[in-house]
């Protein structure tokens, strides 16, 4: 992916981190959550991010994830916490997302219901009429992977997403 496209895709994904991220608990494999507290990258609030499981009590704080070296400056090495965007894992702890499924060798995934609903709306709008999508959503949606936007996949993907939503 060209760098500019990558950055646009990251911006598109980051907006869904304003909501909590649903994950599979690494201990009991039930539904757990990463509380993002309206996450903003680099904000002091980022340390308040935490993963919690209501079923077994698993809990992990982002604060406890050790910062890693990001880049060198004249005054030394700059440390920070890296978020991993763009895969079926949460960006903070790299735990598996609750909403994910295989689709023809690709992985369909969403951070939370807000993200899943966005994908559903975008694909459903594409099925009805290509130009009826509101501009803002259209530009966000155009950053989705090609296989997700392929017309021939849309109906099957929407079925998968309906099933996913009911997990
Ligand atoms: Zn658990």
Domains of the chain, by residue range, sit at: 3-165
Residue 101 alpha carbon to ligand 1 centre in Å: 20
pLDDT of res. 7? 75
167 contacts 116 by C-beta, under 8 angstroms: no
Residue 51 alpha carbon to ligand 1 centre in Å: 10
β-pair type (50-52, 59-61): antiparallel
Residue 61 alpha carbon to ligand 1 centre in Å: 15
Low-confidence ranges of the chain (pLDDT < 50): 133
pLDDT of res. 117? 94
pLDDT of res. 138? 57
16 contacts 118 by C-beta, under 8 angstroms: yes
Residue 54 alpha carbon to ligand 1 centre in Å: 7
pLDDT of res. 137? 55
49 contacts 62 by C-beta, under 8 angstroms: yes
Residue 110 alpha carbon to ligand 1 centre in Å: 20
Q: Phi then psi for 3, rounded to 5 degrees? A: -55, -45
pLDDT of res. 65? 86
Residue 28 alpha carbon to ligand 1 centre in Å: 4
**pTM for this predicted structure:** 0.85
pLDDT of res. 129? 54
97 contacts 90 by C-beta, under 8 angstroms: yes
pLDDT of res. 114? 95
């Amino acid at each position: 992916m060209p760098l500019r496209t990558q950055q646009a895709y990251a911006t598109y994904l980051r907006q869904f981190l304003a909501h909590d991220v649903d994950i599979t608990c690494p201990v009991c494999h039930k539904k757990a959550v990463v509380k993002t507290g309206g996450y903003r990258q680099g904000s002091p609030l980022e340390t308040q991010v935490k993963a919690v499981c209501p079923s077994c009590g698993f809990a992990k704080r982002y604060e406890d994830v050790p910062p890693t070296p990001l880049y060198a400056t004249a005054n030394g090495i700059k440390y920070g916490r890296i978020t991993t965007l763009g895969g079926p894992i949460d960006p903070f702890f790299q735990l598996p997302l609750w909403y994910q499924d295989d689709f023809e060798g690709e992985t369909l995934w969403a951070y939370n219901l807000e993200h899943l609903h966005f994908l559903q709306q975008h694909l459903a709008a594409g099925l009805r009429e290509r130009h009826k999508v509101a501009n803002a959503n259209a530009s966000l949606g155009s950053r989705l992977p090609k296989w997700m936007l392929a017309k021939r996949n849309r109906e099957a993907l929407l079925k998968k997403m309906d099933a996913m939503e009911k997990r």
